[in-house]
């Protein structure tokens, strides 16, 4: 059995999965461009049976518009709809909710949050997630081949 079966990796969107330009009004996305390493990183995780989700703050932008932008960029299909969670990442709460969405507690399950912001990674750590600062580090962190630290880049 693959050691990563049961693992779940959640990604932030802005500056982690994609470059996002939001309208000055803050209520719509003008442009979302997936970052170069992202499709290969998502495919590699998916190939290893890692379930994929999103934890991201969409601000005033409707969830449907964010999802459509991800669809238009060709990456929405990687993510399981129940694991797409929008909310502030200023406490462990959203990460704890994400863990619940990922399924019943299982000692073999590994949860990972991938995001560029060290403060958000600190909140994820408090919720017992592994963390990585870049999508290309997700698989090595889950495999125990890379450090899971706040400052790594």
What confidence tens digit (pLDDT) does each residue in 99-131 have?
999 985 665 568 999 999 999 999 999 999 999
Tens digits of per-residue pLDDT, 64-85?
999 999 999 999 999 999 999 9
Task: For the chain, list the domains and their CATH numbers.
Answer: 8-142 (3.40.50.1000)
d(CA 2, CA 39): 22
Global pTM value: 0.92
d(CA 92, CA 55): 12
Sign of CA dihedral 28, 132, 111, 126: negative
Both tokens assigned to 23: 């309208």
Contact 136, 42 (CB under 8 A): no
DSSP assigned state of 61:
S
């Amino acid at each position: 059995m693959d050691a990563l079966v049961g693992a779940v990796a959640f990604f932030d969107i802005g500056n982690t999965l994609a470059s996002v330009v939001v309208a000055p009004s803050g209520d719509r996305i003008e442009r979302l461009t997936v970052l170069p390493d992202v499709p290969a990183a998502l495919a590699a995780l998916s190939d290893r049976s890692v379930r994929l989700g999103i934890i991201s703050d969409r601000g005033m932008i409707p969830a449907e518009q964010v999802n459509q932008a991800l669809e238009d960029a060709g990456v929405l299909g990687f993510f399981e709809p129940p694991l797409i969670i929008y909310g502030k990442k200023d406490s462990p709460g959203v990460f704890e909710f994400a863990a619940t969405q990922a399924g019943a507690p299982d000692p073999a399950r590994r949860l990972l949050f991938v995001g560029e912001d060290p403060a958000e990674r600190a909140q994820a750590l408090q919720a017992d997630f592994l963390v990585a600062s870049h999508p290309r580090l997700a698989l090595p962190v889950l495999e125990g081949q890379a450090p899971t630290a706040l400052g790594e880049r």
